Amino acid sequence: MKEPKKDWTPRLWLRILLPTVLVIVWLALAGLGGPTFGKISEVSTNDQAGFLPASAQSTEVNAIAEKFRESKDIPAIVVIVSDSGTVTATDMEAFGTLGTAMQDSPGVAPATDPLPTSVIGPIKSDDGAAVEYIVPFSASGQELLGNVVELRTLVQDSTPAGFTAYVAGPAGLLADFVNGFGGIDGILLLVALGAVFVILLVVYRSLLLPVLVLLTAVFALSASILGIYWLAYNDIIKVSGQSQGILSILVIGAATDYALLMVSRFRESLFEVQSKWAAIGRAFRGSFEAIGASAATVILALLCLLFSDLNSNKALGPIAAFGIGFAFLAAVSFLPAVLMIFGRASFWPFMPKVGKKKVEAANAEKIAGLEGIRGLWRRVGTLIAKRPRTTWIVTLVVLLAACAALPSLKASGLPQTDFLLGNNIESVDGQKVLGEHFAAGSGSPVVIIAKEADYTKVMDATAANPGISEVSVQQDQKAVAAAIAEALAAQAAAAGGAPFGAMPDAMAGGQAGPPAVPEIDPIPKVVDGQVLINATLTYQPDSADAEKVVKDLRVSLAEVDSSVLVGGETAIALDTNETAQADLTRIIPIVLAVIFIILMLLLRSIVAPLLLIFSVVVSFGATLGVSALVFNNLFNFPGADASVPLFGFVFLVALGIDYNIFLMTRVREETLQLGTRPGILRGLAVTGGVITSAGVILAATFAALGVIPILFLVQLAFIVAFGVILDTILVRSLLVPAMAYDIGRKIWWPSKLGNGKP
């Protein structure tokens, strides 16, 4: 039997100085990091193209297209539809005036010579029921949101009665995305922190302790936000609204989990010793290894995202790992310091006293390892002790039954317009109306890069695709302007030298007026021997049909010119989905291997890590199976982003293994004193309450992501929240301890513990 370490009591000045310094340091970090909460959106981007892999065709097209563009404008598509189904000539005059007014709307890109305006339209639909405008914006982010709001106000105020107007297109959709992520800084944190506070209040029935735990989480988040803001400001990492929301939830949940483990050991020690310093010392020694191993596991699992081809995943890995690092530091420095300062008062009004621990009932059955244990966890321990094999077999069957629904999970990607949840989203509704009256791909063309020598053949091959309604080559505006001026001069000379802007009566039928602008053959803009071709889709640009058109074009155009590149918004979505699916098969084995190595080092065993890895994989499969049933039949979601399973796996496996680490490190500690099977029961009983509480809190914090009306975050919130609850109730409470109990001392093979007491 291993002798427990003796308590160490330092001098009085150190007992005062150490916690004081730690609290001051964290207050300073919180003071510096707090103001950056509102500024982090300034360095965030939600541009999907910025997160693409360098190897994707659409990435290459974006880089080349920059050389052709005079500016980086983002187009909005304004579509106005007649309630009667007819747009008259009088209506067109009014819409012409509206087009002029749009040019003066804030943020609209200025006109460039030789064009008098940058706004294109009004363009009447072939069915005569609607008109559209293409309005380019030069702003982005929060500024773009404000500009789009002002344009929407202008359009609504100027639209005649009997018409319905929408502002859609890339700018409208991006503005609605920015608006959707707008709740991350405020609502998300309030909901998450409120849920944690209520649960802690119910579990510990203390007024002060929930505040101390929440301060630990908030200080960890403040410090991590400060560091991440600096890194993003200096272009070292990319931050998106998605990663920002996940960071907040992950840090709050992890910091709270680590804090609860420390608090649990501190409370347990206060029943054993009078000195609060001795109690905090025991708590620190008893929990540091588990908290450290847990944090290391999560950090390394998150860093495995660096192996992703998607830059969005690569960015999230270090950001989230950075946050977990600060959650660990806060839990092992700030929290022990404030617990030392407040001591037993932290648990007021139910303060623990030496020798006042609850004891088992006098008539309780004597089971080795459950001495002094009562309540729910004694009953669970008794069940495992009496029927270990039956317990784990039944539990495993339930989990495998849930796994059976896994193939029905639709996670192959979905249109961007489906990412936004809720009714009356103008960009989504406008895109539907646009597709009813115009080529649905207006404003989001397929962008093709071809050699100058072959571009006409490429245009012909592109036009032959039934999914393309119009094909045009980007022209050299300066050359076109010069050609028009030359043609007009020739017209004037032929008219007998009439001044520009007027024609002789003989030519104009007695009416003065501007000369007709002559038709000029296209003059393509050539950059490095290449030209840029725009192809308008007949399908909605973020639909599966549009993605099929892009795939077909890549095949057919390669036969014309092997160097042709096909990009644009649709290609970006296609490349993103395909890369995300490839990442899933690449990263999952890496994460499992990393976690297995950490568990072997921590538990000094091979069998126990294999058991734990098996348990979290089965738990993950069951979670995705249930999620598929809920998404398809209860919420009626149209599908899921291709990255949802990967993020769900990384978070669930990393966080799910946390609870098994908390359990098995305590089991190993108790095994050194009691033997393997009594140690398993003892470890389960003494950690059951705190781990279940931690699981409920983590589930509640991730569920808070559901307040953001973005489908990806809502689905991730459900997957992680449900998965954590499943893990704490079935996997960690029944499956793992029952299988370990059934295996006995061989669970520790090949360490010396494997030859000890069964």
DSSP letter assigned to residue 519: P
pLDDT, position 505 = 43
The answer to whether 434 and 440 have CB atoms below 8 angstroms apart is yes
pLDDT, position 411 = 82
pLDDT, position 753 = 75
pLDDT, position 627 = 95
pLDDT, position 366 = 74
DSSP letter assigned to residue 408: G
179-188 burial by CB neighbour count: b if 16+ within 10 A, else e? bbbebbbeeb
> Measuring CA to CA, which residue among 360, 438, 598 is closest to residue 81?
438
Q: CA-CA distance, 90 to 162, in Å (whole number)?
A: 13
pLDDT, position 491 = 67
pLDDT tens, position by position, 488-528: 677 667 665 544 444 344 333 344 444 555 566 778 888 88
pLDDT tens, position by position, 105-127: 888 887 765 566 778 888 888 88
Q: Domain 1-37+206-357 sits in which CATH superfamily?
A: Multidrug efflux transporter AcrB transmembrane domain (1.20.1640.10)
Nearest 5°: phi and psi at 124? -85, 140
SS3 annotation, 672-713: HHHCHHHHHHHHHHHHHHHHHHHHHHHHHHHHHHHHCCEHHH
pLDDT, position 43 = 64
Assigned CATH topology for domain 432-574 = Alpha-Beta Plaits (3.30.70)
pLDDT tens, position by position, 596-651: 999 999 888 999 999 999 998 999 999 999 999 999 999 888 888 888 898 888 88
pTM score, whole prediction: 0.80
pLDDT tens, position by position, 388-397: 999 999 999 9
* Highest mean pLDDT: which range of 34-38, 80-84, 193-197: 80-84
Q: Among 244-253, 356-365, 685-694, which stretch is predicted with the lowest mean pLDDT?
A: 356-365
Interval 184-210 mean pLDDT:
80
Q: Do domains 57-179 and 365-404+604-758 have the same CATH topology?
A: no
The answer to whether 406 and 621 have CB atoms below 8 angstroms apart is yes
For the chain, give the mean pLDDT: 83
pLDDT, position 384 = 93
* Highest mean pLDDT: which range of 226-230, 478-482, 531-535: 531-535
Q: What dotted CATH number matches 57-179?
A: 3.30.70.1320
Please name the residue ranges forming H helices in 330-454.
Answer: 335-342, 376-386, 388-403, 426-437
pLDDT, position 399 = 96
pLDDT, position 757 = 53
Q: CA-CA distance, 688 to 207, in Å (whole number)?
A: 23
Greater model confidence, 33 or 628: 628
Percentage of the chain exceeding pLDDT 90: 25
pLDDT, position 512 = 42
Interval 31-38 mean pLDDT:
74
pLDDT at 570 over 60: yes
Give 422's Cβ-side CA count (13 Å radius).
14
Q: Architecture of domain 365-404+604-758 in CATH?
A: Up-down Bundle (1.20)
pLDDT tens, position by position, 426-453: 888 888 888 888 877 776 789 999 998 8
Domain ranges of the chain: 1-37+206-357, 57-179, 365-404+604-758, 432-574
Q: Among 200-204, 356-360, 644-648, 753-757, which stretch is predicted with the lowest mean pLDDT?
A: 356-360
